[in-house]
Amino acid sequence: MTARAFAGMLQARLYVSRRLVAYSCGCAVLVALAAPAGVTAPLFLCSLLGIVIALDQTPGRHRHLDRCEQSAPLFGRELARAKALVPCIAATLATLLFAATQFARNAPDAPATLLVVPPAVIACALTALSATTRRGATRALYVLLAFATSAGAYALAVIAHNYPAELAFCVIVAFLALRQYGETLARFDPI
Amino acid sequence: MPLLRMRDASFANTTARAGPLTLDLEPGGRVALTFASSQEATIVALMAAGIAKATTGSVFIGDYDPRLQSVHCKRIAGFVPHEPLQLDEGDFPRYIAYRAALWNVEATAAQACARLLCERLEGMHEAFSYPLIGALIATPQLIVLDRPQPAYAAQILRAVEGRALLSTHAHPSNAAAFT
């Protein structure tokens, strides 16, 4: 896949989801203005936003983009990488805006938000992507798994105070989730 | 040698079924197929474009099997969906740039080709002409149309020129316009 095709797909996906991304960022800023201390609120809120934006990539929601991508000479894993970056970018942007609002309020938790939340949000969004190619109970299971990923990251970073373990956990989960999403897209039956 | 070969090709999953179908389409040839349902017409079009994989029988696009070499198949076949494309006129250059990026076509050449095709498809509603233009800028050897509008048959045939053309239809009267 060329960098141009990758950028083209990413740009088109972000363009059709632009309202959702804008609402997510607005929601992050509003909650950051009212949020209590700690990284609990940004971690779980931005994970939820990541899941919502990941589910927006479900085949059929943007039918013409889906058809263009399916008929383009691209491998499943290439499609997966480009599509996976959309919820990651959007959720990370929401996290950055959350942290920026905390900085503006002189909240002491802003550096912790910047450090702890992005890995958890990215791992959560990538896990939720596998739900987009499934239906019914399996879909719900992957959404629950995504929430469980955030909860695991929270337990390691906030309860156990072990940031390297949180980072390692999120990297492993994100790698496995992206790999599985690529394999699922390669086998995906568009009918 | 046929550009598209289907041998007892059929598709079946829990919700949909199509075929079996056998056909040969030579380079520059034209075939319009009629099916009992819209769903079957769409599935056959997707199989002919290498997007859906036949569950039984075989499909070859050029020398390639979509089950193993779908990327090569998609360089040969261009697919035009039935659904109209809801796009503002201002978004058209963006759409062409997107399609050019996916097929790795040089951007300025793609825009010039799109403008030429717009002139050739004059009189055709943009919602139907834009997806066809998007498919044609990649210069595919085979164009697969899923239930095209018979009212625009003359413009479509003019734009497709000497390329092989396969169209699927749900009514025989619609198919007649493309033969």
Nearest to B43 among A63, A70, A191 (CB): A191
Q: How far does the CA of residue A69 sit from the closest CA of chain B (Å)? A: 8
* Cα–Cα dist A79/A75, whole Å: 6
For the cut 80, the answer to whether the pLDDT of residue B109 exceeds it is: yes
* Cα–Cα dist B60/B20, whole Å: 15
Do B81 and A67 make contact, defined as CB atoms within 8 angstroms? yes
* Cα–Cα dist B69/A130, whole Å: 24
Half-sphere exposure of residue A28: CA atoms within 13 angstroms, side-chain side: 31
In the prediction, which pLDDT does B25 show?
A: 92
Decide if B61 contacts B76 (C-beta within 8 A). yes
Q: How far does the CA of residue A87 sit from the closest CA of chain B (Å)? A: 20
3-state helix, strand, coil in chain A (%, to 5): 85, 0, 15
**Residue type at B63?**
D
In the prediction, which pLDDT does B123 show?
A: 85
> Hey, is the C-beta of B46 within 8 angstroms of any chain A C-beta?
yes
Residue (of A22, A64, A125, A184) closest to B98 by Cα position:
A64
Class of residue B47 by CB neighbours under 10 A (exposed 0-12, middle 13-18, buried 19+): buried
* Cα–Cα dist B38/B16, whole Å: 11
Q: State which H helix or E strand residue B121 sits in.
A: none
Residue B134, C-beta contacts closer than 8 angstroms, at least 6 positions apart: A68, B95, B96, B99
Q: How far does the CA of residue B151 sit from the closest CA of chain A (Å)? A: 22
Q: What value does the mean pLDDT take over residues B123-134?
A: 90
> Hey, is the C-beta of B49 within 8 angstroms of any chain A C-beta?
yes
pTM score, two decimals? 0.85
For the cut 80, the answer to whether the pLDDT of residue B30 exceeds it is: yes
Do A74 and B71 make contact, defined as CB atoms within 8 angstroms? yes
**How confident is the model over B40-99, as pLDDT tens digits?**
999 999 999 999 899 999 999 998 999 888 899 999 999 999 998 888 777 889 999 999
**How confident is the model over A38-85, as pLDDT tens digits?**
889 999 999 999 999 999 999 888 888 888 998 999 888 888 888 899
Pair of tokens at residue B147: 């239930």
Residues of chain A scoring pLDDT < 70: 1
Query: Does the structure's ipTM exceed the value 0.90?
Result: no
